[in-house]
Amino acid sequence: MKGVGVSPGIGHGPAYVLATVVPEPPEGLTYDGDADDEKARAQAALQQVAGALESRGHQAGGEARSILQAQALMAADPGLAVGVKSLIDRGVAAPRAIYEAFEKYREMLIGAGGYLGGRAADLDDVRDRAIALLTGQPLPGVPSEAAEPYVLVARDLAPADTAVLSKDVVAAFVTEEGGPTSHTAILARALGVPAVVACPGATTIPPGASVLVDGTSGEVRLAPSEDDVAEAEHAASIRQAAVDATRGPGRTRDGFPVALLANVGRPADLDPALANGAEGVGLYRTELLFLDRAEAPSLEEQEAAYRAVLESFPGGKVVVRTLDAGADKPLRFLPASGGEPNPALGERGLRLFRAFPDVMASQLAALAAAVVGTEAELQVMAPMVATAEEARWFVNACRTAGLDSAGVMIEIPAAALRAESLVTVADFVSIGTNDLAQYTFAADRQLGALTALQDPWQPVLLDLVAGTATAASDNGKPCGVCGEAAADPELACVLVGLGVTSLSMNAHALPAVRAALAASTLGDCQLAAQAARAATTAAHARAAARAYLPGLADLGL
């Protein structure tokens, strides 16, 4: 079988096929007794689900914690509770009332698209857990212990299924749905577990069947022979040894420097970044400090969180993305934010900052205070910038707050196409390839069916990167990439060939990217970039670039 590799490595073991084990309650299901008692039963089930998810999030920590906290909020959502109670008042039994109320909300999320659309699977998981509690069925889930590591196969995976797993339990993930930025992909990379998503027919794999998963190529092989497994593991060990042998700052074989940075969101992300040789932080997602809270974090709390990251990289660069929330990631303490009919195109990022200047002022002040006395180079950038006027406004706000380096993210086609006008006012630019691909192709990045359009090898996306990097270079400004594209060793070389000066990625991807650059000259990268841009499809672009990067084959990459 063939899917999309989203977390590199080789995984082998028996298949554990996660099926939907909670059936839909029958239509017309009614209850005997008092309506208030039935409402209390439904509410108790939802509260128990919320508490269990919250507890599991605390146990898991890291990326999983924020994801599960958001899922717990779904279970406790007042709007859903009102819908459930209304159905019970009409005689519908609690299990069916929860199913119908959640189904209506689910349709709203899918219609919204973007981040909210991608949360429909999370909502399904909350619904199924509540129904299982009400009907006495086993809760959905996967074994957290096993005699040997297994390959977890599913249509899709809810965060609660994967949050408390480890490499000791799971050899690999395979899902029929999802994309490079789905929760399965994010958590798999954080765990360092190979993963393949968007793999048609994966759930037809017989439970217990032996499976070999290549998280790099996306290949899923059933019933591999001992020789197949040995060959794959040998190739992986050679690749890992070659990768581990490359140390030090990022640079090409002929010495062209390329800063290799880490994407972080919480303190738990710092240790892996340092262990894998990150030279700094290229994307600090500060919104994780703000989400799922009834009140905004104080200036002092923000300052302490930012200082912890800055102090971890003395002499290094730390690029902080200001609050990327609102619309598709609404803030509970800003009731006016969110609720648009199309949140992916709504009031978020810099647009939210302009609507709520007190939130902006507090964050910028906390950043200015946090850098005092540290040796890090602080750079602050705004997300969702579309025009030069917006860039100028943000830079002026940073200057007023005492911040010396202010940049903007390039993730909207309008910004990429007119990058020249943005780099003349901003100190640097950073390209977010995930959203840039989503908006360029009108393809929701959470939908596995549209994975081909989200492929960062799409030549038109490379054109937008090239135009942005050229505009930055012509104006003497740095241009980084902080999207998932930077984590692909081959594509990292192409990005450098396009003129990108720094690459930021999940910490576990740093060694392979460092090795790929060290095996290629700047000329190799430039020729590979030219060949990729001349192609007509993403697959052809990758193949064309590969021909000019012979050093990667020697590494087994």
Catalytic positions are 183, 482
- What's the token pair of residue 401? 């707050």
Where does 118-266 have alpha helices with state H?
120-135, 159-162, 183-191, 226-244
DSSP 281: E
Which sign, positive or negative, has the C-alpha torsion 118, 359, 64, 284? positive
**Which whole-number Å values give the CA distances from 218 to 34, 287, 348, 451, in the listed order?**
54, 31, 34, 13
The packing angle between helices 299-312 and 357-370, to 10°, is 40
- Residue 30 and residue 49: Cα distance in Å, rounded? 23
Residue 161 sits at the vertex; the CA angle it makes with 155 and 165, to the nearest 5 degrees, is 120
DSSP 445-456: TT-GGGHHHH-T
* CB contact burial 51-65 (16+ within 10 A = b; e otherwise): ebbbebbeebebbbb
d(CA 346, CA 335): 15
Torsion of CA 416, 420, 421, 426, to 10 degrees: 90
Nearest to 520 by CA among 491, 542, 541, 544: 491
**E strand or H helix at 283:** strand 280-285
- How far is it, in rounded angstroms, from Cα 538 to Cα 19? 33
DSSP H helical ranges for 77-182: 78-89, 94-112, 114-117, 120-135, 159-162
Name which of 343, 481, 346, 475 is nearest 411 in CA terms: 481
Q: Which residue has the tokens 């212990």?
A: 145
Judge contact between 109 and 117, C-beta under 8 A.
yes
Taking CA atoms, 444 is separated from 23, 41, 114, 245, in Å, by: 28, 37, 6, 38
66, 287 Cβ separation under 8 angstroms: no
Write out the E strands in 422-513: 429-431, 479-481, 502-505
Q: Give the dihedral sign, CA 363/364/369/375.
A: positive
Measure the CA angle with vertex 265, ends 121 and 182; round to 5°.
Answer: 25
For tokens 């670039």, name the residue.
545
